[in-house]
Structures are given as structure tokens and as C-alpha cells.
Chain A
Amino acid sequence: MEEILIRFLIGGFTVSFFALLGDLFKPKSFAGLFGAAPSVALATLALTVTKDGAQYASIEARSMIISALAFFFYACCLSWMMMRLPYGALRVSLSLLILWAVVAFGAWWMVLS
């Protein structure tokens, strides 16, 4: 339980920090870079290295290469849909999480499983 709480706090802090950086910068295309900051990865890897060792972190990062690719598809589709379709950001960004999951888990199944 204590580990979960520590993960939650470190993850929340790291993600909020990068989101704050994104809020500060203009123009929006530059600020958007911080939307793809390795915030969850930094929080997780720091804890993983301490607890499970570097080899374990290396295996996690190998899978992260695949999910970063899924992130790229997610962000491209989000951008395209926001520019061209009359739907709100919340609806589009949450629905597209399914796309992220399909690409990430699909590629994982084909390449790593």
C-alpha cells in the first residue's frame, strides 16, 4: 500500500510538472512537446531501478519503444480530428485512448509476446 501511495505521489508530481511547463510556453505547437514528456516513465523507472534493478527497467523500456509509437499515432490522430471534425477535445482525446491501446497491445502481441 505504501509503495502504491509513493508511486501515485511521484507520478502525479512529475506529470503535473511537465503539464505546467506546457502551460508556460508559447506557441502552442512548442508547448505541445511537453504533452509527450517522459513523465510517467521517469517516475516509474526511478522507482523500478531502486527496487528491481536496471535489467528489469531495461525490459520495461523495450516495451516503451512500442507504446511511444502508439503515442505518436494517438497524437497525430488527435491533432487531425481536432483540426477537421466538429467534436470536443474531451470526447476525441478519451475515445482515441482506445486507438493507443490497440496499437500498443497489438504491436506488443506481434513483436514481444
Chain B
Amino acid sequence: MRVRIDFSSLKQTSWQQVSVRFICGGLATVVAGLVARKYGPVLGGLFLAFPAILPASATLIEKHEKQRKERAGVHGEVRARKAAGVDAAGAATGSIGLLVFAALIAGLIAVHRPFMIIALATISWLLVSLMLWQLRKRT
């Protein structure tokens, strides 16, 4: 299946759902900062890879898929759960890219220009994730 952009899916997302994700992301970032401030960067750093979007995304995908199937006149519960499962499998692939991101930052940020390393690590996350997704698709 080819990768494509579907703008119509944005219409399905309500402002309430956008707000939930904004609040989850904001809270995760605040908690990471507060834990680092109180207990030090070793413990605080654990929260940098907190799955902040995934619960909200999985719930949203399940809901949208279920609604889509119900509009077509069929029960979509199983299909909806599977769609959320496929999305989570994609996140598992992306998390290996996240690991590469963290390793690059840990190894290089103190010895090179920090913001250049952050940009390089972000590009690496994307490239590693895309490569692994392609590999997974082929197998």
C-alpha cells in the first residue's frame, strides 16, 4: 500500500480531541521537567520517551473506524480494534527510531553544537523509522 496524505481525516478530529492531546503532551513535558528538577536528569530523562500521544491516538482511531463501519451498516468493533493495533505496530517501529534519536543526543550533544545535534537526531529518527517501516512492509 502506498503512503498518501488524507486531509479528510482532519475533519473527523474534534477540537475536544485536539485539546486532549495538547493537554497530555503539555503535562508529560511538565512532569519530565519537574522530575528532572527534583530528582536529577537521570530519572527525569526517563520521561522523554513517555508514550504521550499513543493512548489518545489509539482511542481516536478505534472510535473513527467504528463510526465509519456503523455508517456503512455493519458492526465495526473488531475492525476498529485491529486498526488501533496496526497503528500501535507502527509506533513500535517508530520507537526504534526513537532509540536512535536518544543515542545520538546522548553521545553527541555535549561535544557539538546542541541544536544542530537535535536537528540531526530528529532527521535520523525519521529516516530510521521510514527504513524500518519499508523493511517491515516487504516481509
Q: Which residues of A come within 8 Å of B, CB atoms?
A: 3-4, 7-16, 18-20, 22-49, 52, 54-72, 74-76, 78-83, 86, 88-90, 92-94, 97, 100, 104-105, 108, 112-113
Q: Which residue of B7, B53, B81, B137 is within 8 Å of A35 (Cβ)?
A: B53
Which B residues touch A39, using CB under 8 A? Answer: 25, 52-53
Are A89's CB and B58's CB within 8 A? yes
Interface string of B36-69 (1 = CB under 8 A from A): 1000011111111111111111110110000000
Docked complex Cα distance between A55 and B104 (Å): 13
Are B84's CB and A16's CB within 8 A? no
Q: Which residue of A11, A20, A24, A82 is within 8 Å of B85 (Cβ)?
A: A82
Are A41's CB and B30's CB within 8 A? no
User: Mind listing 25 A-B residue pairs with CB under 8 Å?
Assistant: A10-B29, A16-B18, A24-B5, A24-B10, A32-B57, A32-B89, A40-B47, A61-B102, A62-B45, A64-B46, A64-B49, A71-B98, A72-B92, A72-B95, A75-B94, A76-B92, A82-B62, A82-B88, A88-B62, A89-B58, A90-B58, A92-B58, A93-B55, A93-B59, A100-B50
Q: A82-B84, A82-B85, A112-B42 are in contact. Are A64 and B92 (CB under 8 A)?
A: no
B120 at the interface (CB under 8 A from A): no
7 additional A-B residue pairs with CB within 8 Å, beyond A14-B25, A29-B86, A75-B92? A24-B7, A38-B121, A39-B53, A41-B105, A61-B105, A78-B88, A82-B82
Are A44's CB and B32's CB within 8 A? yes
Q: A36-B91, A90-B59 are in contact. Are A83 and B41 (CB under 8 A)?
A: no
Which A residues touch B13, using CB under 8 A? Answer: 23
Which A residues touch B21, using CB under 8 A? Answer: 15-16, 19
Closest to B63 in A: A89
Which B residues touch A10, using CB under 8 A? Answer: 29
Are B45's CB and A60's CB within 8 A? yes
Instruction: Give the shortest distance, in Å, between B103 (CB) and chain A (any CB).
Output: 6
